[in-house]
A and B are shown apart, each in its own frame.
Chain A
Amino acid sequence: MTGIRVADLSYSYGAKTALDNVSFEVAQGAFCALLGPNGAGKSTLFNVLTRLFVPPEGRIEIAGINLNTQPRAALAKLGIVFQQSTLDLDLTVRQNLSYFAALQGIAGRERANRIDAVLDRLQITDRAREKARTLNGGHRRRAEIARALLHSPAVLLLDEPTVGLDAAARASITDHVHSLSDDGTTILWATHLADEVRPDDRLVILHQARVLADADARDFQGDASLQDAFLALTA
């Protein structure tokens, strides 16, 4: 079973084409980096994958479930970290997680247990009672990743999750999310920074609405650095 399957996907804003016949697959439990410069169409692709937009053409499967025909079942398999923070800054970390768990239909003791587990997993248990407003950027991102994992999604989407973070926080978040794929979670990590991609990662390069490359990062870069190979392809 594939984690994510996208086939023949197109999307336009009026006359401007944002996605042009995009197709790719991510195997279950794989870490896939969606690399593309600003304006490549990454955020549009995320909006389509999360059904905020419905594309006129193309097919999307999340963990084998067709997003168009079974949207609720597919969304239930999806954990999402949006580029823009979606924490309620006036609520504590635990309240934010609790609210999200309820939107997933998780209640009672199970909700409390799951919140404890993800806080521990992201190493922010000591921040649980703090208001989101008081957290630094790195901890806010951790809280959002913890929240996205609450319902044990099969697929985790992260849209440029390290934007605005300092180097240490960026490295820490990148390492941590890479480790999440070890337990079988499929990861799609959108970024415009080549240094966040590792040789073992699956790599999809999106540029000017089209997929320019779909390969293992190691194979794609060859003897060059990934940064150089990426710049050569998108120049």
Chain B
Amino acid sequence: MTGYLTSLIAIITREALRFVHQRERFVAALVRPLVWLLVFAAGFRAALGLSIIPPYQTYITYETYIVPGLCGMILLFNGMQSSLSLIYDREMGSMKLLLTSPMPRWWLLMSKLLGATAISILQVYAFLLIAGLYGIKMPAAGYITVLPALIVAGLMLGSLGLLLSSFIKQLENFAGAMNFVIFPMFFLSSALYPLWKMAESSELLHDICAVNPFTHAVELIRFALHTQFNGAALGWTLLAAAVFTAAALWGYSPEGSGIRRRS
């Protein structure tokens, strides 16, 4: 067991060191949701009327509504960022160190996933802190109850990144994957508008949003931030995490079809 723990700590430490070395990545990760919160939400506030929907018990401002979605956005972008760094590792060759270690491959990849999720969550809390200073506050207990939701959502989106990295051949292809994954996932979700609003425009789009795992991750975070539990959202997020993780582990296995791309 010591070997498992030793490798886990080493991988998380390396992820943290890499993050510290890339301060601009931290700033970018914070600026992105803050622009949405402080600029986009301010503009949309008047245009978008929100009814009272769970977990809210009163009318809320649009800024309050999109905070959980923006937490999800940080996790989503970080999931993709960790995918990018895995592809970079593969191109630079350092992925081979992981894949030829005598520790089980699944454990090493899970350690990577945990490390990336931990860093994502730190960024979410930094964002929530700034949002709080700006006056968009959540219930005090919500900052604690949201932690398990962030872990589950972070693992799900991180495992999606892991899956993508096992199938994207080259670094240059990453931008394409961003367009096909990040933007549809984000916009076809409840991050920016409640699903009933989407249903008013198009039932089809509403249905797509309803099966989008990112929607469930955002709802899980939204309810947890208001100290409430959303079992369905948790179930869907866990299911998506399990599917993405299993597919990613297969993709990274020596037998997986993706292995030849890692020569």
List the interface of chain A (C-beta within 8 A of B). 13, 43-44, 47, 50-54, 72-73, 75-76, 78, 80, 82, 84-88, 90-91, 95, 98-100, 102-107
Contacts and interface: CB of A to CB of B under 8 A. Distances in A.
B96 A99 contact: no
A102 B263 contact: no
A78 B101 CA distance: 9
A86 B97 contact: yes
B58 interface: no
Contacts, number: 87
Interface stretch (B10-18, B165-173, B208-216): B10-18
A172 B102 CA distance: 30
Nearest to B263: A47
A102 B6 contact: yes
B93 A107 contact: no
Nearest to B21: A90
Contact of B92 (A72, A86, A105): A86
| Pairs A-B, 8 closest by C-beta atoms | A105-B3, A102-B10, A76-B102, A84-B93, A54-B254, A103-B101, A107-B6, A86-B93
Contacts of A80: 96, 100
A107 B2 contact: yes
A102 B9 contact: yes
A102 B7 CA distance: 5
Interface string B72-105: 0000000000000000000011101111111110
A24 B17 CA distance: 43
B226 interface: no
Nearest to A106: B6
Contact of A103 (B17, B92, B108): B108
B255 interface: yes
Given A86-B94, A90-B21, A103-B108, A43 B102 contact: no
B260 A13 contact: yes
Nearest to B101: A103
A98 to B, nearest CB: 7
Given A102-B9, A103-B101, A85 B263 contact: no
Interface size range on B against A: 20 to 34
A103 B255 contact: no
Given A52-B259, A91-B14, 5 more contacts: A52-B99, A102-B9, A103-B98, A103-B103, A104-B102
A91 to B, nearest CB: 7
A52 B93 contact: no
Contact of B18 (A47, A82, A90): A90
Given A54-B254, A88-B94, A104 B101 contact: yes
B262 interface: yes
Contacts of A95: 17
A73 B263 CA distance: 22
B166 to A, nearest CB: 13
Q: Which of B2, B6, B17, B104 has the most CB of A within 10 A?
A: B6
A97 B169 CA distance: 28
Nearest to A88: B94
A43 B263 contact: yes
Q: Which of B3, B102, B103 has the most CB of A within 10 A?
A: B102
Contacts of B9: 102
Contact of B254 (A43, A53, A91, A98): A53
A73 B260 CA distance: 23
8 contacts: A44-B263, A52-B263, A75-B102, A80-B100, A102-B6, A102-B9, A104-B3, A105-B4
A76 B11 CA distance: 18
Nearest to B95: A86
Contacts of A90: 17-18, 21
B254 A52 contact: yes
B100 A54 contact: no
A103 B3 CA distance: 8
A87 B21 CA distance: 16
Contact of A105 (B13, B21, B96, B102): B102
A8 B194 CA distance: 62
A82 B93 contact: yes
A137 to B, nearest CB: 15
B214 to A, nearest CB: 32
Contact of A72 (B17, B102, B262): B102
A98 B7 CA distance: 10
Contacts of A91: 14, 17
Given A90-B18, A90-B21, A91-B17, A53 B260 contact: yes
A75 B104 contact: no
A105 B262 contact: no
